């Protein structure tokens, strides 16, 4: 199982939000490239980078993300504001190993299908859910789409990896939504869990599920546990 540290970018800064609320932002003062290198040097094999500006259509950190990916040997995945095949091509050509499609999976699922045919395992789909329903555009817009139904559709398209974020838990340090994850791991797709990890005990519990990976963010920034300690749990 992969332990994947997260870097959320807003206006070039490393920040964390609470439940995706842009008004509840904490700037941790890290230089993004330095932080990514620190994660890699500590032992992270993969780093998850979110373009918060791109997600809500308010600017983009794309060049900064490409710059980070080009300077690391660790796998870099990124999502946020990726709406066209040209966006996908720009990121992959720039060195990003996995492109995470979110909003477009709801608004233009055919694009996901076409992207999977072209780029295969370089395509991941981010499913961000609040009370079981998918939210899009930086979690600013609600949809009537059920998360499990969207995931099944993506599996039918050949998507091999789903990053599932529970918005209720994200940035809250209240623990993951284990019930939802226990349902999802039975689907024929790699599931990466995101949202709510607060302690090493949470990681121990998640390790018992057949997850592909776990994304950790705020707990690292708040010093609840170190990346070294988290990686040790998954050894």
CATH of the domain at 127: 3.20.20.70
pLDDT, residue 124, reads 98
Q: How confident is the model at residue 139 (pLDDT cuts 50, 70, 90)?
A: confident
Q: Is the pLDDT confidence value at 174 over 90?
A: no
Is 168 part of the annotated catalytic residue set? Answer: no
Exposure of 167 by Cβ count < 10 A (0-12 exposed, 13-18 middle, 19+ buried)?
A: buried
Asked if residues 171 and 16 have their Cβ atoms less than 8 Å apart, the reply is yes
Higher-scoring residue by pLDDT: 160, 55: 160
Average pLDDT, rounded, for the chain: 94
Domain span at residue 197 reads 2-233
Query: What is the average per-residue pLDDT within 138-165?
Result: 95
Q: What percent of the chain has pLDDT over 70?
A: 100
3-state secondary structure (DSSP) of residue 15: strand
Return the residue matching tokens 């997850």.
Answer: 211
Q: What is the total count of domains within the chain?
A: 1
Is 51 part of the annotated catalytic residue set? Answer: no
- φ, ψ for residue 100 (rounded to 5)? -100, 115
pTM of the complete model: 0.94
Of 51, 77, 87, 128, which residue is the catalytic one? 128
Torsion of CA 235, 125, 27, 232, to 10 degrees: 0
pLDDT, residue 48, reads 98
3-state secondary structure (DSSP) of residue 152: helix
């Amino acid at each position: 199982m992969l332990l994947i540290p997260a870097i959320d970018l807003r206006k070039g800064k490393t920040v964390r939000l609470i439940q995706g609320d842009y008004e509840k932002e904490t700037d941790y003062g890290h230089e993004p490239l330095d932080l990514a290198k620190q994660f890699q040097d500590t032992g992270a094999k993969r780093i998850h980078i979110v373009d918060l500006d791109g997600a809500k259509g308010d600017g983009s950190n794309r060049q900064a993300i490409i710059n980070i990916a080009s300077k690391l040997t660790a796998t870099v995945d990124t999502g946020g504001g990726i709406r066209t095949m040209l966006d996908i091509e720009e990121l992959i050509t720039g060195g990003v190993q996995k492109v995470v499609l979110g909003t477009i999976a709801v608004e233009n699922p055919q694009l996901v299908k076409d992207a999977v045919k072209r780029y295969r395992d370089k395509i991941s789909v981010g499913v961000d859910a609040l009370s079981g329903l998918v939210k899009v555009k930086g979690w600013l817009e609600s949809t009537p789409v059920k998360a499990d139904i969207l995931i099944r559709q993506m599996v039918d398209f050949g998507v091999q990896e789903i990053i599932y974020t529970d918005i209720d838990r994200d940035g809250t340090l209240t623990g993951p939504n284990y019930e939802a994850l226990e349902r999802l791991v039975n689907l024929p797709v790699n599931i990466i869990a995101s949202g709510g990890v607060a302690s090493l005990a949470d990681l121990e519990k998640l390790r018992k599920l057949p997850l592909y990976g776990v994304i950790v963010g705020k707990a690292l920034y708040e010093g609840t546990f170190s990346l070294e300690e988290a990686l040790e749990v998954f050894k």
